[in-house]
Amino acid sequence: MNARSTSAAAGDATGTDPSAVARGASIKSVYVYEAPVRLWHWINATAITVLCITGYFIGSPLPTMPGEASAHFLMGYIRFAHFTAGYILAVGLIGRIYWAIVGNHHARELFTLPVLSLAYWKEVITMLKWYAFLIPQPSQYVGHNPMARMAMFCGYFLFTLFMIATGFAMYGEGLGMDSWASHLFGWVIPLMGQSQDVHTWHHLGMWGMVIFVTLHVYAAIREDIMGRQSIISTMVSGYRTFKR
């Protein structure tokens, strides 16, 4: 009896599938995302969720509440949750930038794009074909795939800077001309025209963030199912596993 038939016999005897054992042996894992990166990711996701929900109700308030107005503080609570989540988003981004400096090289992918690398753009095209269902399988990547890296840099990092700047500019109006927010971000209002223009662009930015998050979640789930490496579990454990 050869080795293959012996393995099959052993599999039959133990009730296991030899091919499944072989596939399991072929899967390898690499430590990619350090604990601070993973913690920031989930806290940041929660903050963005709170910001989008409360931002929607700030822009489109609820109908009039019954009874005396003095008995309700609903919009006050909504605004407080929005401001708190805004602080968490901004402080978290500062911490994330710090970890990009002191962490491993995967922690820096969010803030850099190798735009001068021809190989990078070739891989971007490969991923575009993969997302368009034009090729049977993509390449394997340890960190972000090239397309995801571009999406995170443009769709998250630059976009978040815009939302923080416009958000704190409006926040500074409420705090007053002598507040720290007005001193740091007051220039945004005259740059964009007037206060209402900032409100409008900030509200439109909320819908842009909703679109980005929707595509991000879709791509992560799709890659976990159809791709060649783990995605969601990697942001939980930090280890990326690969499939043949």
Q: Coil, helix or strand for 30?
A: strand
Is 2 part of any domain?
Answer: no
Tokens of 117: 């690398």
Q: What per-residue confidence (pLDDT) applies to 86?
A: 97
Residue type, 180: W
DSSP one-letter code for 64: P
The tens place of each residue's pLDDT in the chain, 244 residues long, gives: 444 444 444 444 444 455 544 554 555 789 999 999 999 999 999 999 999 999 999 998 877 777 777 778 888 999 999 999 999 999 999 999 999 999 999 999 999 999 999 999 999 999 999 999 999 888 888 888 999 999 999 999 999 999 999 999 999 999 998 999 999 999 999 999 999 999 999 999 999 999 999 999 999 999 888 888 889 999 999 999 987 6
Is 6 part of any domain?
Answer: no
Q: What per-residue confidence (pLDDT) applies to 27?
A: 58
Is 21 part of any domain?
Answer: no
Domains contained in the chain, number:
1
Is 139 part of any domain?
Answer: yes
- The residue count for the chain: 244
Q: What per-residue confidence (pLDDT) applies to 95?
A: 97
Which residue range(s) make up the domain with 198?
Answer: 29-241
Nearest Cα to 155, choosing from 74, 219, 77, 225? 219
Is 124 part of any domain?
Answer: yes
Q: What per-residue confidence (pLDDT) applies to 22?
A: 52
Tokens of 178: 């002598």
- CA dist., res. 166 & res. 157, Å (int): 14
Is 166 part of any domain?
Answer: yes
Is 15 part of any domain?
Answer: no
Is 11 part of any domain?
Answer: no
- CA dist., res. 218 & res. 54, Å (int): 23
- CA dist., res. 118 & res. 133, Å (int): 23
Tokens of 97: 């930038």
Q: What per-residue confidence (pLDDT) applies to 193?
A: 93
Where residue 104 sits, what CATH number does that domain have?
Answer: 1.20.950.20
Task: Compute and round to an integer the Cα radius of gyration of the chain.
Answer: 24
Q: What per-residue confidence (pLDDT) applies to 41?
A: 97
Ordered DSSP codes for 131-142: HTT-SS-----S
Q: State pTM to two decimals.
A: 0.84
Nearest Cα to 202, choosing from 167, 161, 159, 155? 167
